[in-house]
Structure 1
């Protein structure tokens, strides 16, 4: 979908921003982009993460680096009737020239410059690097002046030298920004997010975008590097994974809750996107959870 351009706010006293965002119920879920680089730590929340044309589940301690002008959003799981549920994220934003033009081109920062360039596709950060960066993010909140700046550079150094990075968006993904179309396409995005658990239809999305189904299908695929139907199916599969990990519902119940018409089709599509069946996924997660409990004990 066409993302909305957002302006990142910071104080006049700072060259970059460090913010703690807390929301009651859900994250705003706005599909957006900006000229700043972004490092986001999910402190509290679970749901579906969108980075470019990549869709995946996220949970607490999810750590993501977003390149400049790369569209992204986090769609929280519905908190249901529990109004006390909150979502929290710790976010760092900085511009490429926040320390002056050409700062990252000096020889000593060659690896950082390369990291920032490749981050146009977005990175998921895991392993030892994840733990180290999270610790520094909690520290930077309480720092000021040069110590705050040094901590950010330390974070960038860790990321630039890390082997614990996974690229998210595809290499061919690109944005074609048209500000005049933002409002109507954000409505289409909202329609998909709010109705993916039902029998969502391309014709309805096309009507919202005021386009013919054929034109809308071509337009969507050009910008997302995947068809409308694939986008919706990946969203359904991600939600199914969440329900399977809860071990509270049968596969039949999950099938219909995610908007699939029959179990056979659900099993086929689930295996296509995850390479294992829903039952195998559930058993694998149960085994991993058991191993984790033994390790903690």
Structure 2
């Protein structure tokens, strides 16, 4: 099942939204995406978090930043007592809520870079987590200019932090960083247009107008990973996306993603996800069953946050 596109509501007097959601029992657990960036603090709940093709446990104080149009949900543990609430504090904003060129200004370059990274989803940890949680509780009490300034302070904290972990794989939300130089953009475009077939380092080097040895060194320095690893991550990320649709066999997905045999596909897939393709698919199945039930009731969810 594809994730649902949902519209995030805000008041006419606000350019972005800050909401505290409280549910009796579990979160709705709706697999969805939206055009807004999202910062979510889990105040009370535990369960499984899904961000793109990433799956992990979550507990109270889980703090996650979600990029625009990145599918996600939090699925509460089924053992949760019905009289126990699930609570979350959530901030939503669009990139252009202060004007189309606002984040392109030199002073906000670090925040612009952070927003680019968030297309994979980001887990916030350590001292940054503690500081941002304090600021999120504070922003609930503010209004007007003070509320806006507080959001920018939160984004500045995140942009300057080294205590961040990327969640979803490179291949799940395929995009090109417009701030990367033109040479690397051309290589990215070549990889993304051809990763379903054979991709050779020598061809990528030729596109970059470099020798294979120099290109290999350049690519690893810029991308923080070898060329072959980057290509395999794209393939596995795309495989995750197809597996989550539950429409194709594992063998079909193997060849669709550019792997030449199922054995190598399973090996590469497990090296990146720590799960076999079948295990990955089964882990998502319960989430999709729940999402399908909510899809049938979509009109009734219009005023709810689908955390």
Shift of 1:30: 0.7
**CA gap 1:231/1:157 in 2 versus in 1, 3 angstroms:** same
1:138 paired with 2:187, answer: no
Aligned to 2:280: 231
Contact 2:68 2:119 in 1 (8 A): yes
Gaps in structure 1 of 5+ consecutive residues: 176-205, 237-297
Q: Deviations over 1:122-143 (max 9, x none)?
A: 1000000000000000000110
Contact 1:79 1:85 in 2 (8 A): no
Q: Deviations over 1:46-72 (max 9, x none)?
A: 000000110000000000000001110
> What pairs up with 1:266-277 in 2 under 5 angstroms?
none
Aligned to 1:150: 149
Gaps in structure 2 of 5+ consecutive residues: 175-242, 259-268, 286-307
**CA gap 1:145/1:57 in 2 versus in 1, 3 angstroms:** same
Aligned to 1:278: none
Aligned to 2:101: 102
Contact 2:42 2:63 in 1 (8 A): yes
Q: How many residues align?
A: 203
In 1, Cα distance between the equivalents of 2:169 and 2:107?
A: 29
Shift of 1:158: 0.2
Contact 1:41 1:63 in 2 (8 A): yes
- The 4+ residue runs of structure 1 with deviation greater than 2 A are 211-222, 224-228, 232-236
Shift of 1:84: 1.1
In 2, Cα distance between the equivalents of 1:25 and 1:145?
A: 34
> What pairs up with 1:50-69 in 2 under 5 angstroms?
50-69=50-69
Calculate the TM-score normalised by the size of structure 2. Answer: 0.60
Shift of 1:27: 0.6
Aligned to 1:22: 22
Calculate the TM-score normalised by the size of structure 1. Answer: 0.62
In 2, Cα distance between the equivalents of 1:45 and 1:120?
A: 25
Shift of 1:218: 6.2
How big is the alpha-carbon RMSD for the aligned residues of Structure 1 and Structure 2? Answer: 2.9
Aligned to 1:34: 34
> What pairs up with 1:206-221 in 2 under 5 angstroms?
211=247, 213=249
Shift of 1:83: 2.2
Aligned to 1:72: 72
